[in-house]
Structure 1
Amino acid sequence: MTSPATAETPSPFDLHGRRAVVTGAGRGLGQAIALGLARAGADLILLGRPGAQTSTRDQVAELGRDVRVVDLDISDHDAVERVAAEVAGSRQVDILVNNAGIIDRQDSVQVSRKSWNHVVDINLNGVFLLCQAFGRPMTERGYGKIVNVASLLSFQGGIRVASYAASKHAVTGITKALANEWGPLGVQVNAIAPGYMVTDNTTALRADPDRSRSILERIPAGRWGNASDIAGPAVFLSSPAADYVNGHVLVVDGGWMAR
C-alpha cells in the first residue's frame, strides 16, 4: 500500500509544466520520443516537413497535452534560424530533441557534393543551429535539456554511408562541446545513440537476408530495436532524473556495442 508521503513525492521523470521541441516527429523514432515526452507530462512543439506530423499531433492531443506543429525544412538554414527564433521568442522551451536526420547509402566514390552537403546540412548544421537558437534562452534562464540523436555510426564507420557516419560522429562532438560550455549555466546536453532499429533508414538492411542475419547475430537482445525503445531514454535525459548527466552519449542498442 502506498503511504501518503510516497504518493506526494514527485517522480524524477515527471515533465508536467515543461515544453519540448522535437524535430522530425512525424514517424519512427521522433514520433515515439514525442509521445513518450507527452506521456511524461510535457507539452510539445513539433518541427518538421509540412504535413508529416499530423498523426503525431493528434496522438499527443489525445494524451491531453498542448501541441503545436511548425513546418520547417531543416536543410534551409535561414528558415531554421528564423523559425527557431520565433518559437523561442513566443514560448518558453525547456527541452530540445534534435531527432531529424537522413541517410544516403551509396559507394563513397559516387557521393556527389550535393548529396554530401544535404546530409551534413540536416544531420549536423541544422542540429547546431537549433541547439544555438534554443540553447541561448536556456542558458539565460539557467535551465534546459538538449537531447541529440546520434547513432552507432557515431562510433563506427559503417558501409556505404560516409556522409551519415561523418555527420553522426560530429553530433557527438557538438554534444560534448556544448555540455562543457553550457553545463555550468544549468543546461545539460546529451545524446542517444540508437542501435539497429526498425525504421525507414534500415529498410534496405532488413530486406537483405545476409546483412539482416549478420546484424541480428551480433545483438544480444536477439531482435531489431523498436522506436518505442528510444522513448524511455529520451524521457530520462529530458527529466530532472538526469540533472547530473551531461555530455553523455547513451547507447540504446540491445547490447550491440558490448560484442
Structure 2
Amino acid sequence: MSRRVLITGAGSGIGLTLARRFAAEGDRVALCDARADAIAKVQAEHPDFLARQADVIDEAQMDAFLSEVETEWGGVDVVCANAGTGGPAGRIEDMTYDDWKDCVAVNLFGTFLTCRWAARLMRAQGHGLIILTTSTAGLFGYPLRSPYATAKWGLVGLTKTLAGELGSAGVRVNAIAPGAVEGDRMERVLANESAASGRPIEELRQTYVKGVSLKTWVSADDLADMALFLASSAASKISGQIMAVDGHTESLVP
C-alpha cells in the first residue's frame, strides 16, 4: 500500500535520495527545502512530488507547508526529519554566538517543529514512523565542530524521548546516524575544517577513513537503504534506536 512520506531538507543530497527511493517504492512524497533554486529543480524533475520552499526554523513557513500536506493527505505515515547544516568549524573560543545559534537552530530546533506536527497527526491516527537524521557526531566527541556535535547529540535525546512518548500510540521513532557521506555537503565540510585547522583537505579526507573500521565513506543510498528498512514491516518492533550507517566509526578525533 502506498505510504505518505514527508521529508525535510530534501532539495538535494541525502534528503532528495530518500525522496526518490521512497517514490520508487510507490509512495507519495512531500518535501521541503530552504533553497528556492533547489525546490524549483525538484519540481521540474519530479512533478509528482509535493515540493515547497520552507525553512525548517521559520515557524510560519513550516506551518504553511505542513498544513498543505495535512490538507492534501489527511495524515502522514513516515516523516524523515532530515534537514541540517554543517555549521562552522573551529575552536570554541573563536566562534561567534550567532554562528553557534544558527547551527544548533537548523539541526535541532527545526527538527522540533517537524516532529511536533508529526506527533500530533500520528498519535491521532494510531500509527506512524518518525526518522531523525542525526550523525556519528551525535555519538562521539567531534573536535572543531562543537555546535554541530552538540545539536546532533540533542537529536539522540529527542529520538529516545519521543519513542517513549509515542510508543503507546503505535508510533515508532528512530534515528539514522550517517558517517562521512560522499557528496557536495561533505566537500564543504572538508573545506571549512581545512580553513580552521590549516591542514590540507586530502589529509583531512583520510582522517575520516582512518577512524572507520571498514575504511570507507558511505553514500546517500546506503542511508536510504536503512530508512526503507525502518519503514518496512521487518522493522515493526524497532523503536528508540540510533542506527549508525557509517562503516563503524571508532573515533572522530583526528
- The normalised TM-score by structure 2 is 0.87
Deviation per CA, 1:236-256: give whole Å up to 9, x if none: 112222211101110000122
The number of equivalent residue pairs is 240
Q: C-alpha displacement at 1:57, in angstroms?
A: 4.5
Aligned mates of 2:251, 2:228 — CA distance in 1: 24
**One of 74, 90, 100 as aligned partner of 2:83:** 100
Work out whether residues 75 and 118 of structure 1, in 8 Å CA contact, stay in contact via their aligned partners in 2.
no
Alignment correspondent of 1:139: 123
- Structure 1, unaligned runs of 5 or more: 1-15
Work out whether residues 182 and 188 of structure 1, in 8 Å CA contact, stay in contact via their aligned partners in 2.
yes
Q: Secondary structure of the residue that 1:52 maps to in structure 2?
A: helix
* Equivalent residues in 2 for 1:177-196, closer than 5 Å: 177-196=161-180
What percentage of residue pairs aligned between the two structures are identical? 30
Alignment partner of 1:246 is 2:239: yes
Deviation per CA, 1:201-234: give whole Å up to 9, x if none: 3214386222222221232333211111111101
Q: Cα–Cα, structure 1 residues 86 and 102, in superposed 2: closer, same or farther, change >3 Å?
A: same
Alignment correspondent of 1:5: none
* Equivalent residues in 2 for 1:59-138, closer than 5 Å: 60=46, 66-91=48-73, 92-104=75-87, 105-138=89-122
Alignment correspondent of 2:15: 30
Aligned mates of 1:170, 1:258 — CA distance in 2: 19
- Structure 1 consecutive aligned stretches of length 4 or more whose deviation exceeds 6 Å: none
- Structure 2, unaligned runs of 5 or more: 192-199
Counterpart AA for 1:173:
G
Aligned mates of 2:65, 2:94 — CA distance in 1: 34
Q: Secondary structure of the residue that 2:111 maps to in structure 1?
A: helix
Q: C-alpha displacement at 1:51, in angstroms?
A: 2.7
Alignment correspondent of 2:194: none
* Equivalent residues in 2 for 1:169-248, closer than 5 Å: 169-203=153-187, 204-205=189-190, 208-248=201-241
Q: CA RMSD in A?
A: 2.1
Worse overlay, 234-243 or 244-253: 234-243
Counterpart AA for 2:217:
W
Q: Secondary structure of the residue that 2:50 maps to in structure 1?
A: strand
Q: Cα–Cα, structure 1 residues 134 and 89, in superposed 2: closer, same or farther, change >3 Å?
A: farther
Deviation per CA, 1:27-76: give whole Å up to 9, x if none: 11111111111122211001112231344455555xxxx41111101121
Q: Secondary structure of the residue that 2:5 maps to in structure 1?
A: strand
Aligned mates of 2:120, 2:106 — CA distance in 1: 20
Q: C-alpha displacement at 1:258, in angstroms?
A: 9.1
Work out whether residues 40 and 235 of structure 1, in 8 Å CA contact, stay in contact via their aligned partners in 2.
no
Q: Secondary structure of the residue that 1:103 maps to in structure 2?
A: coil
Aligned mates of 1:20, 1:176 — CA distance in 2: 21
Alignment correspondent of 1:157: 141
Aligned mates of 1:32, 1:132 — CA distance in 2: 24
Counterpart AA for 1:136:
R
